[in-house]
Amino acid sequence: MTTDPPTAPPAFDAAAGRRARLTVFLVVFIDLLGFGIVLPQLPLIGSDFLDPLVPGGKESPLSGLILGVRFASFSL
């Protein structure tokens, strides 16, 4: 019974590492750009949705919870 000697790990490819970092950077940038567009619009959009859903509209204590759930669903 003979065993093969262990092989050396492949050499590090600097170009592949740069491409991987660039890809991750672009994905995170586009994700944060989406949040930056939606976040300032949330109060305007939220008031349109709260009036028919919650009696009392923006003045109701339940309105903050509903807006939080809506924003969390955007993150999902």
Which pLDDT tens digit goes with each residue over 11-50? 778 888 899 999 999 999 998 898 888 778 877 777 777 7
CB-CB contact of 11 with 36 (8 Å): no
More confident residue, 55 or 28: 28
d(CA 22, CA 1): 47
**Token pair in block for residue 71:** 């924003």
- For residues 2-14, average pLDDT: 76
Where do the H-state alpha helices sit in the chain? 14-53, 62-75
pLDDT band at residue 68 using 50, 70 and 90 as cut-offs: confident
pLDDT at 1: 61
